[in-house]
Structure 1
Amino acid sequence: MTGNRGIISNGSNNNFSNNAIGEHAKVLGGATPSHVGDASGGDGSSSDPTSTWDIGVVTILSDELRAVVEELDLRRHKNPGGLYFYRGSLTTPDSTVRVVATQSQSQGQRSAMAALENLHRHYAPRLWAMVGVGGGIDTERARIGNVIVSTDVVYYENRKINPHGDIRRRGEHRQAPAPVVHAANAFFAENGMPAHLHRRLLSGAPEEFDVYPGLIGSGEAVIADRDSEIRHYLKGYHEKVLAVDMEAGGLSQYWQEHSVHGAENPGWIVIRGVSDNADEKKGHEYHELAARNAAHVLRELLPFICSPQS
């Protein structure tokens, strides 16, 4: 065969990769694994597509995502598949932390797990954080506006229903990995327990609130009854259950099922601003306040939970 130029294959496999043709041609880089993501510039992050994303944040409500985006100064990014992520980097005393956040499609455990999978597939963060609002069930510590930092989740939905309506709940209790627990402990050791934090409201007025460590009860039920059987069950299960939500159980389950990956499986933490007391007064009035307080706590926790890689 004379005069042929380029690449030719006479076999059955005509797939080629990392090739360059022509004078002075160069291969600039190989294909990027689909689970790493494509960090382009303009969002405060490195243009290197293979660099590490330190923390992946899952929010459920629009108020929650907006609070995280504004608190951490994240930029919107739409990937080729049509998914929206918000990305950026923050400088701590020890390192630069790269953050990516997303919002689930709906409330509940299943949608939260799908959002976690999207983050894992496109960015593979080193740590998960679920940030937003929750209902307080401890009248002293979980007051509206306060924030609960949790490395323990009690999933309460598993149950056996006996004749005559008798319900036997079978709680599942999962704790975050030891490095995350140590990081949370260090935060409270340095800031007090409770930690008294200050931030400025949108109006410019100062606001003070308390941050407590504690357990989160998680299930699919929206609780708006102070005498709810679920509330009684959770307080009987563990007296340090301070708040409830509908997604943290999905986070702990997702982590548990991915623990087979060992070092590749990041830790997790839950940060819930108290927006109501899970009673008949439950509403949306304090969603923004609670969400912004939770986002502020996330920022304060970054130097502890995102330590430099060794």
Structure 2
Amino acid sequence: MRDIDVVVVTALRHEHEAVIRAAGARVDRWTHHDRDRSTPYLAGTYASGGRAFTVAVARATRMGLPAAASVAASLVERLHPRCLAMSGVCAGNPAEVALGDVIVADLAFSYGEGKRTAGGLIPDHRHLTMPDSWVRAAQDLSPRGLPSHAEPTERDSARWLLERLSHTAEPWRHPAWHRYGPWHRVLPALESGGLLTWSADGAALTPDGRVLVQRERHHTAVRRMPFAVAVGPIASGSAVVDDGRVWRRLRTSGVRPVLGVELEAAGIATVAHRLDVPFWAVVKGVADHADTRKDDRYVPFAATAAAEVLWRLLADRLLSGRALDRAAAQTR
């Protein structure tokens, strides 16, 4: 097949499906390629505002850096893209991002690299950075108008606060606190409704409040929310983490603050660097905080929101200003 402008790799099937869904009608038709090879892919043309770029989307058969890097390298060598990208989910630093937020990596590294001694790991990381023009575009990117983004209602704010109070007595320290409200109406309503009580220690859930939180967790799917786009470092490891201690360990990595932890970003950045792909982008939705409360409730939303943000970023970089002449020529 002729050269492709963008290759998008995902680690899991549901992430792959989210990328295809999020493209929507802007990709008129997806065609299957190389079904009989080890790395099949879908190809299409993403068009908007009279401009277009070509794209191939493929997935690995399992999570992890080796699998994702193998797929990425195979497609880069065959399709010669201008940009190598990845969309999916990750764990987010609870001090910096909220569940459902989307992280765009301005830097990726493998945090397990180095020398392990009796005193612990001596880091020896290779930091790979996204081009500065792409970092700036990601910093300026607003999620408003994306299908998964919504401004919160007072009911949404009440649900969010009750959920936070089930974990901490200080929800106002949470990164998403200022996205919700208005608290001068929400807090009194929760108190008069018997769901929240006040003491010298602060706000706390009543028994009815705890029951409502449990019911919401089991019966309410997360479909739209006021998620934010955060730009910062993503660290890749070799194992899924749920002990809650990884953020403390990463403070000694020489990079702060690390926003996200997952398994593949460093592999994508490395493939782009070593195979001379001009641009790379890794976009991950926050599905958990790598702690003992890890569950899958936010996974579908995080995958979808990440895919929507990736398409918006690609469109901003490839369709505005100096659009790719190659894509325009191929769509005539």
Same fold (TM over 0.5): yes
Give the Cα–Cα distance (whole angstroms) in 2 for the partners of residues 183 and 167 of structure 1.
Answer: 32
Q: Counterpart in 2 of 1:224?
A: 242
Q: Counterpart in 1 of 2:229?
A: 211
- For residues 189 and 80 of structure 1, do their structure 2 counterparts lie closer, same or farther at Cα, with a shift above 3 Å needed? closer
Give the Cα–Cα distance (whole angstroms) in 1 for the partners of residues 77 and 125 of structure 2.
Answer: 30
How many residues are paired up? 245
Question: Is 1:251 aligned with 2:268?
Answer: yes
- For residues 161 and 121 of structure 1, do their structure 2 counterparts lie closer, same or farther at Cα, with a shift above 3 Å needed? closer
Q: Counterpart in 2 of 1:93?
A: 49
Deviation per residue, 1:281-307 (Å, 9 max, x gap) = 223222111000001101211222325
Residues 166-205 of structure 1: matches in 2 within 5 Å?
A: 166-176=120-130, 178=131, 181-189=132-140, 191=142, 196=144, 198-200=146-148
Amino acid in the other structure paired with 1:93? G
Q: Counterpart in 2 of 1:305?
A: 317
Give 3-state SS (helix, strand or coil) of 1:151's partner. strand
Give the Cα–Cα distance (whole angstroms) in 2 for the partners of residues 205 and 67 of structure 1.
Answer: 13
Q: Counterpart in 1 of 2:249?
A: 233
Residues 64-103 of structure 1: matches in 2 within 5 Å?
A: 64-73=15-24, 75-79=30-34, 81-82=36-37, 83-93=39-49, 95-103=51-59
Q: Would you say the 8 A contact 2:42–2:58 is kept in 1?
A: yes
Q: Would you say the 8 A contact 2:86–2:283 is kept in 1?
A: yes
Q: Would you say the 8 A contact 2:223–2:301 is kept in 1?
A: no
Amino acid in the other structure paired with 1:235? R
Question: Is 1:58 aligned with 2:12?
Answer: no
Report the alpha carbon displacement of residue 59 of structure 1 after superposing the two structures with TM. 0.2
Give the Cα–Cα distance (whole angstroms) in 2 for the partners of residues 281 and 197 of structure 1.
Answer: 31
Give 3-state SS (helix, strand or coil) of 1:208's partner. coil
Give the Cα–Cα distance (whole angstroms) in 2 for the partners of residues 258 and 223 of structure 1.
Answer: 30
Give the Cα–Cα distance (whole angstroms) in 2 for the partners of residues 204 and 135 of structure 1.
Answer: 17
Residues 114-153 of structure 1: matches in 2 within 5 Å?
A: 114-139=70-95, 141-153=96-108
Q: Counterpart in 1 of 2:297?
A: 285
Give the Cα–Cα distance (whole angstroms) in 1 for the partners of residues 97 and 127 of structure 2.
Answer: 20
Give the Cα–Cα distance (whole angstroms) in 2 for the partners of residues 65 and 278 of structure 1.
Answer: 22
Report the alpha carbon displacement of residue 187 of structure 1 after superposing the two structures with TM. 4.4
Amino acid in the other structure paired with 1:242? L
Give the Cα–Cα distance (whole angstroms) in 1 for the partners of residues 265 and 223 of structure 2.
Answer: 32
**Bigger relative contact order (CA 8 A; separation at least 6):** 2
In the alignment, structure 1 segments of 5+ residues that lack a partner are: 1-36, 38-49, 260-264
TM-score normalized with structure 1 length: 0.72
Report the alpha carbon displacement of residue 247 of structure 1 after superposing the two structures with TM. 0.5
Q: Would you say the 8 A contact 2:243–2:291 is kept in 1?
A: yes
Q: Quick check: 269-278 or 153-162, which moved more?
A: 153-162
Amino acid in the other structure paired with 1:209? F
Report the alpha carbon displacement of residue 64 of structure 1 after superposing the two structures with TM. 0.3
Give 3-state SS (helix, strand or coil) of 1:209's partner. coil
Report the alpha carbon displacement of residue 251 of structure 1 after superposing the two structures with TM. 1.2
Give the Cα–Cα distance (whole angstroms) in 1 for the partners of residues 222 and 12 of structure 2.
Answer: 24
Report the alpha carbon displacement of residue 107 of structure 1 after superposing the two structures with TM. 1.3
Give 3-state SS (helix, strand or coil) of 2:256's partner. coil
Give the Cα–Cα distance (whole angstroms) in 2 for the partners of residues 100 and 84 of structure 1.
Answer: 10
Considering only CA atoms, is the larger Rg found in Structure 1 or Structure 2? 1
- For residues 190 and 68 of structure 1, do their structure 2 counterparts lie closer, same or farther at Cα, with a shift above 3 Å needed? closer
Question: Is 1:104 aligned with 2:122?
Answer: no
Report the alpha carbon displacement of residue 239 of structure 1 after superposing the two structures with TM. 2.0
Q: Would you say the 8 A contact 1:197–1:210 is kept in 2?
A: no
Report the alpha carbon displacement of residue 242 of structure 1 after superposing the two structures with TM. 0.4
Deviation per residue, 1:62-83 (Å, 9 max, x gap) = 1100100111146250416334
Deviation per residue, 1:152-199 (Å, 9 max, x gap) = 112211121223x633222221112x3xx31331343363xxx55542
Q: Would you say the 8 A contact 2:92–2:99 is kept in 1?
A: yes
Q: Would you say the 8 A contact 2:146–2:308 is kept in 1?
A: no
Q: Would you say the 8 A contact 1:133–1:272 is kept in 2?
A: yes
Give the Cα–Cα distance (whole angstroms) in 1 for the partners of residues 233 and 243 of structure 2.
Answer: 20
Q: Would you say the 8 A contact 2:222–2:298 is kept in 1?
A: no
Report the alpha carbon displacement of residue 119 of structure 1 after superposing the two structures with TM. 1.4
Deviation per residue, 1:245-292 (Å, 9 max, x gap) = 100111122122223xxxxx2310110000000111223222111000
1:159 is matched with which residue: 108, 111, 114? 114
Amino acid in the other structure paired with 1:170? D
Give 3-state SS (helix, strand or coil) of 1:207's partner. coil
Q: Would you say the 8 A contact 1:187–1:304 is kept in 2?
A: no
